[in-house]
Structure 1
Amino acid sequence: MKISVIIPCRNEAGVVDHLLESLTIQTKKPDEIIVVDSASTDNTVECAEAYSSKLPLKIIKVSEKGSSKARNSGASEAAGDMLVFIDADTILPKYFIQSFENRVNEKHFQAGSFTQKMNSDNLAIRAGAHFMSGYMRLMQYTPWPIGFGCLYITKEAFNAVDGFDESLYIMENYDIILKAKRAGYKIGIIKMGCLASDRRYRNNSLRQIFQGIYGELYRYTHGLRITKPIYEYNMGGEDKDNGKDTDPRKQKSK
């Protein structure tokens, strides 16, 4: 299996560094890492380039905004037969790549997502992330599987379902997993403990959590596709208060 890690970025200077650092200390390195810069106005590219001597890194730039566009652009450049999409504000446990490969080889999964923990002092935010991880693991056994921002899919399945739908306003990660399920690919949610930033939820955590629940209900009652705004959402580091993303070298492996 050849693994391509794809990282969509917009204004992630000071954030994507922690993700890339966590990739340098993996027990097994991915075959390639593609950072896709989506019209950043900060020095995201320079931050990523600092890791070019430590990682099998490729950086591409797209002029259009949007996480789906960035992910699709990265996938089109990927040489791997397994695509792993990781949000820029994530820190990976050092065993991530090795454990992922072992699990996929054992279970023959072809698409799915990873459970996450929230890097937050806010109990409501941590509880919400714990609930969503459990909910995601449960939903993999139903006709309506879901996925977080960090997900994986074989290149074959990605091409078969035409990648991420760029017309969707949000929940494009849910959509691609659902399409893969309906196309007959085996879905697996992998318990991994990726550490995600709470920056999108920090100011209005309860409101954001209820917005997520509303989004879930909306997609079930309106044909599963959200192509118009139902609440405010920004990709990446639009809010420059990036918070307490910690050095991945200090994260404990479990």
Structure 2
Amino acid sequence: MDYSVIVPIYNRPDEIDELLQSLTLQTYGDFEVLVIEDGSTDRCDQIVEKYSDQLSIRYFYKENSGQGFSRNFGFDKAAGDYFVVFDSDCIIPPHYFESVNRYLAIHDVDCWGGPDRAHQSFSPIQKAISFSMTSFFTTGGIRGRKNHIGTFHPRSFNMGISQEVYKETGGYKITRMGEDIEFSLRIINKGFKTGLIEDAYVYHKRRTDFKQFYHQLHFFGRARINIKRFYPNELKLVHLLPVFFVIGLPISLFLMLTGDGVLSKLILLYPLYALVLFIDAATSTKDLKISFLGMVAGFIQLTAYGIGFLEELSKDFKKSG
């Protein structure tokens, strides 16, 4: 068995149905699927069962422990040479494993990741969120772009590791709040090689409205501070940009209302940034509605992340004080 697909799930049976359906269409079929039900009250066992004659699939129910430790549970049960982790809200294109297999045949990597894209069936808001989460002007290209900033750190919505990586690292050390970033950092620090497989992308549905998106990115901001607690040197300038975005708005408004000269014009950076996002979205999506929504999503993303970052950071200051 070449690959073991590990999918933790919590109360999202409809999502696993779409994911499993997409896996039946793979052009390369030497893989198994392990669905780890993480203490759900709305179970997906009956949905998994209907794919038992189309996929080599196993279902496990366990007490709730979070997605990181549920992945470890799956790793312990897996039989493949490589362990592949997908989020339950992903749809996998038919060529995924064929692309991974081709890449691994010529590249010596121990851990890989791939990008995420918007499926044609996604709603305009989902497509706008997908743009915002992958644009160079919001994330610096860290989520699966070839021109990403710094060393590529695979994320757990679309990530593969060798058995050796799991044996050496022991898998996820934390189960939430940036568990995939911590895992990627530890993999790299152990001397393992990571690689980006651009053609091994997934369609990542993420959140379906801006309110859910705000809460998700607020959590991501908090998670970045949690990572700092394990790796203080991993807090980079790029991670502070959403904070500057959040605190810069009231400061620039104050300067506009009370001052004159160059500093009073700082507020103009915000509409200029909105224009940059709109142009980038229009270039990549070719859709004006999604471009406008993508601009909104970008502002929500930076605001939510920045606020979450500051709220979690304040907890550390209170403890140290």
Using the TM superposition, name which of 57-66 and 153-162 deviates more.
Answer: 57-66
Verify: 1:121 aligned to 2:96, yes or no: no
Contact 1:114 1:148 in 2 (8 A): no
2 CA distance for matches of 1:124 and 1:49?
34
SS of 1:102's equivalent? helix
1 CA distance for matches of 2:11 and 2:159?
21
Q: After TM superposition, give the deviation of residue 64 of structure 1 in Å.
A: 2.5
* Residues 94-105 of structure 1 mapped to structure 2, 5 A cutoff: 94-105=94-105
Q: After TM superposition, give the deviation of residue 145 of structure 1 in Å.
A: 2.8
Contact 1:140 1:188 in 2 (8 A): no
Verify: 1:109 aligned to 2:106, yes or no: no
Verify: 1:178 aligned to 2:185, yes or no: yes
Task: Could you tell me which runs of 5 or more consecutive residues in structure 2 were left unpaired when the two chains were aligned.
Answer: 233-306, 309-321
* Counterpart residue identity of residue 121, structure 1: P
Q: After TM superposition, give the deviation of residue 43 of structure 1 in Å.
A: 3.3
Q: After TM superposition, give the deviation of residue 210 of structure 1 in Å.
A: 5.9
2 CA distance for matches of 1:130 and 1:106?
27
2 CA distance for matches of 1:91 and 1:102?
20
- Show CA shifts across 1:125-178 (max 9, x none): 122222248224455853x7352422110011111011011x343211111111
- Specify which of 197, 211, 225 is matched with residue 205 of structure 2: 197
Verify: 1:154 aligned to 2:162, yes or no: yes
Q: Name the TM-score, length of structure 1 as normaliser.
A: 0.78
User: Using a 3 Å threshold, how does the CA distance of structure 1 residues 50 and 100 change in structure 2: closer, same or farther?
Assistant: same
* Counterpart residue identity of residue 157, structure 2: G
User: Using a 3 Å threshold, how does the CA distance of structure 1 residues 177 and 23 change in structure 2: closer, same or farther?
Assistant: same
Verify: 1:92 aligned to 2:92, yes or no: yes
User: Using a 3 Å threshold, how does the CA distance of structure 1 residues 40 and 188 change in structure 2: closer, same or farther?
Assistant: same
How many residues align? The count is: 224
Task: Could you tell me which runs of 5 or more consecutive residues in structure 1 were left unpaired when the two chains were aligned.
Answer: 232-254
SS of 1:158's equivalent? helix
Contact 1:139 1:146 in 2 (8 A): no
1 CA distance for matches of 2:128 and 2:86?
24
Question: Which residue in 1 is equivalent to 2:53?
Answer: 53
User: Using a 3 Å threshold, how does the CA distance of structure 1 residues 33 and 127 change in structure 2: closer, same or farther?
Assistant: same
Q: After TM superposition, give the deviation of residue 23 of structure 1 in Å.
A: 0.6
SS of 2:124's equivalent? coil
* Counterpart residue identity of residue 192, structure 2: Y
Q: After TM superposition, give the deviation of residue 59 of structure 1 in Å.
A: 1.0
- Show CA shifts across 1:17-54 (max 9, x none): 11000010110114211111111111311111110111
Q: After TM superposition, give the deviation of residue 12 of structure 1 in Å.
A: 1.8
Question: Which residue in 2 is equivalent to 1:250?
Answer: none
2 CA distance for matches of 1:130 and 1:102?
25
Task: Determine which structure has the larger strand proportion and give its number.
Answer: 1
Provide the identity percentage: 25
CA RMSD of aligned residues (A): 2.6
Using the TM superposition, name which of 130-139 and 83-92 deviates more.
Answer: 130-139
Contact 1:111 1:188 in 2 (8 A): yes
User: Using a 3 Å threshold, how does the CA distance of structure 1 residues 211 and 42 change in structure 2: closer, same or farther?
Assistant: closer
2 CA distance for matches of 1:61 and 1:171?
24
Task: Determine which structure has the larger helix proportion and give its number.
Answer: 2
Q: Which has the higher contact order (CA 8 A, sep 6+)?
A: 1
Contact 2:23 2:92 in 1 (8 A): yes
Question: Which residue in 2 is equivalent to 1:29?
Answer: 29
* Counterpart residue identity of residue 6, structure 1: I
User: Using a 3 Å threshold, how does the CA distance of structure 1 residues 134 and 50 change in structure 2: closer, same or farther?
Assistant: same
Contact 2:141 2:149 in 1 (8 A): no
